[in-house]
Amino acid sequence: MRIYKNFINNDWVGAISGKTFPVDNPATEEVFAEVSRSGTRDIDAAVVAAGSAFNGWRLTDPGSRREILKEIAKKTVEHGDEVAKLITQECGKPFVEAQDEIDVIASNFEYYAELGRDQIGRIVAPTSSRSMSLVKYEPYGVVGCIIPWNFPMALMAWKVAPALAAGNTVVLKPSEVTPVSILKWAEMTCDSLPSGVLNIVNGYGKEAGSPLVEHPDVPVVAFTGSIATGTIISQLAAKNLKKVSLELGGKDPVIICADCDIEVAAKGAAWGGFMNAGQVCTSVERVYVFDEVADSFTEALVEEAKKVNIGDPMDANTDMGPMASSVQYEKAHEKVGLAVEQGARLLTGGGRPEVFDKGYFYAPTVFDNMTAEMELMNEEAFSPVVPIQKVKSLEEAIEFSNATKYGLGCSIYTKDIELAMTAADDIKAGSFWINNPLSENNAAPFGGMKMSGQGRELGIEGLDEFREPKHILIDYRQEKKDWWFPYGSDGE
């Protein structure tokens, strides 16, 4: 069994304590790797390395940084299958979905390689003649990135690529559930980076994550995860007035209008709700369906749920693998049990399929007879569970969609552009999808409103999260100005 170490200053080093922690395969429940269990001293070493590398990296010309990032993208594709297999092995998602993460890494590094070279500043209109005002974008310094387990590689790239493209150095802490794929990726693709530019330190949140957030030499922290952890990070970061970028939880609704193609809407809702076993921040977490089509849509969605092929995530025919951990499996089961207690009707799923005697497999689950006050319509499930509630109108669907603390994404199925755009205008969410849920675009920003987060990833907005503007005024002429002292009329 391999022991994976920290990556600090382009060297592979074990935790100073000598401790490790296990990583298991959620499909088999078997431990397949050990990883260094780091603490404050390991974080300190990584931050020192990143800090020492910062000046050299920020002064590297953008064209050279571009070539290095594009080389990382190229090597990511070359070694993609090997890394994708580790993603599947440690988090349970089907191999085809793991391969999608490889594509995300490559496309993000390529995109920000070009954007970071091109977007370095601007000229604004001067306030006086013979002068010029420049706005220059500068990196902050050492950026701390804390990565979740559900998309360990894709969400790493969303943060690391723009941070590096902007001229920052990085200390990265993967999730303790899924550290192996990130470490293997760095081993195979990041040798072109100068020493200390990217550092990876493994460990648990309180032991490694908190010291990274609190470190006085880390001015920016980027995090994806739960609202609860995001709140703690905000509080810790506030002590040193750090900038934080937070992509937190979601409770994304999909609105099914009476005029939609029921078959298409059911297939889209099933994919949106059950992809990666529902462990997606923008999963379809609740359905609001117009009364007129509620029965036909519900029947169609149940049939789609029953068609989902659950099994070995390395099998090309598998649609859905296990949940990522026993903790996630138990949370899902608790939420399903509570929904039943509160009066929801379980239509399909609700537990481990009988064909599996091990692994954290959970059947695609659909509820109806939901009401607005039930917990499953208000709190993030993060599991393959889709609840359905009937609505009488678009106005009622909009009201319910806005009724939670979340504001990450929302989808609608309709052929009526007025209905679609009215909902897009009135629903408080960072992303709004019309007839095509859960789709991202590298050039468009992604992030949440309300308690779903602050800041944005992707697009030029994602680059701006890791750089700060500086105004430089140039006066062509060195001369006394009329507005200087003395103010009196007798002054010369």
Positions marked catalytic: 247, 281
Q: What percentage of the chain's residues is helix, strand, coil (to nearest 5)?
A: 40, 20, 40
CA distances to 41, 276, 483 from 492, in Å: 62, 75, 11
Question: Encoding tokens for residue 130?
Answer: 């013979």
- Strands 11-13, 6-8: pairing is antiparallel
CA distances to 52, 69, 82, 154, 187 from 76, in Å: 27, 11, 10, 12, 11
Q: Which three-class secondary structure state does DSSP give residue 245?
A: strand
How many residues make up the chain in this entry?
492
Cα distance between residue 164 and residue 150, in whole Å: 23
Cα distance between residue 93 and residue 16, in whole Å: 33
Contact between 217 and 142 (Cβ < 8 Å) = yes
Cα distance between residue 458 and residue 97, in whole Å: 20
Write out the E strands in 321-448: 345-348, 365-368, 385-391, 409-413, 431-434
Q: Which three-class secondary structure state does DSSP give residue 342?
A: coil
Nearest to 189 by CA among 54, 62, 10: 10
Query: By CB neighbour count within 10 A (0-12 exposed, 13-18 middle, 19+ buried), where does 341 fall?
Result: exposed
Q: To which residue do tokens 């399903």 refer?
A: 336
CB atoms within 10 A of CB 402: 16
Contact between 256 and 293 (Cβ < 8 Å) = yes
Cβ neighbours of residue 159 closer than 8 Å, sequence gap 6 or more? 143, 145, 147, 170, 172, 222, 224, 245, 457
Burial letters for 465-482: b for 16+ Cβ neighbours within 10 Å, e otherwise?
Answer: bbbeeeeeeeeeeeeeee
Write out the E strands in 68-210: 121-124, 131-139, 142-146, 169-173, 198-200
